[in-house]
Structure 1
Amino acid sequence: MTQDGPPIRDAATIILLRRTGAGVSVLMGMRGAGAVFMPSKYVFPGGAVDATDATAPLAAPLPEPHRGRLLQQPRPGSIPDPDAIAAAALRELAEETGQLIGRPGRSDWPGFAEAGLCPDASSLTYLFRAITPPGRPRRFDAHFFLADAASLATDPDDFSRACDELSHLHWVPLADARALDLPFITEVVLAELADLVAGLPPDAPLPVPDTVPFFDNRTPAPRFAQIA
Structure 2
Amino acid sequence: MTAPTPPVDKTALRDAATVIVLRDAATEPRVLMGQRGSAAAFMPSKFVFPGGAVDAEDADVPLARPLPDLCAERLREDCARDLSRVLPVTAIRELWEETGLILGTPGTWPGTPAPDWRDYARRGHLPSAHALRFFFRAITPPGRPRRFDARFFVVDASEITGDLDDFSAASDELSHLQWVPLSRVREIDLPFITEVVLAELADYARNPAPPASVPFFRNDDEESLFLRLRGHAPGAAD
Q: TM-score, normalised by structure 1?
A: 0.92
Residue pair 2:135, 2:214 contacting (<8 A) in 1 also: yes
The answer as to 2:12 corresponding to 1:4 is no
Q: For residues 111-164 of structure 1, give each alpha carbon's deviation from its aligned partner in whole angstroms, at most 9, with x where no partner exists.
A: 421210000000000100000010001000000000000001121000000000
1:167 aligned partner, one-letter code: S
The match for 1:54 is 59
CA-atom RMSD in angstroms: 1.5
1:46 aligned partner, one-letter code: G
Paired residues, what number?
Answer: 218
One of 133, 136, 156 as aligned partner of 1:128: 136
State the distance in 1 between where 2:95 and 2:65 align.
17
Which is worse superposed, 185-194 or 101-110?
101-110
| Seq. identity, % | 52
5 Å matches for 1:76-225? 78-107=80-109, 108=113, 109-198=117-206, 200=207, 206-225=208-227
1:149 aligned partner, one-letter code: A
Q: TM-score, normalised by structure 2?
A: 0.88
Q: For residues 157-201 of structure 1, give each alpha carbon's deviation from its aligned partner in whole angstroms, at most 9, with x where no partner exists.
A: 000000000000000001111221000000000000001122x5x
State the distance in 2 between where 1:54 and 1:189 align.
27
5 Å matches for 1:58-69? 58-69=63-74
2:171 aligned partner, one-letter code: C
State the distance in 1 between where 2:193 and 2:78 align.
19
SS at match of 1:60: coil
Which is worse superposed, 212-221 or 182-191?
212-221
4+ runs of 1 displaced by more than 4 Å? none
SS at match of 1:23: coil
Residue pair 1:29, 1:45 contacting (<8 A) in 2 also: yes
Give how far 1:3 is off. Answer: 4.2
SS at match of 2:153: strand
Structure 1: where are the runs of 5+ without partners? 201-205
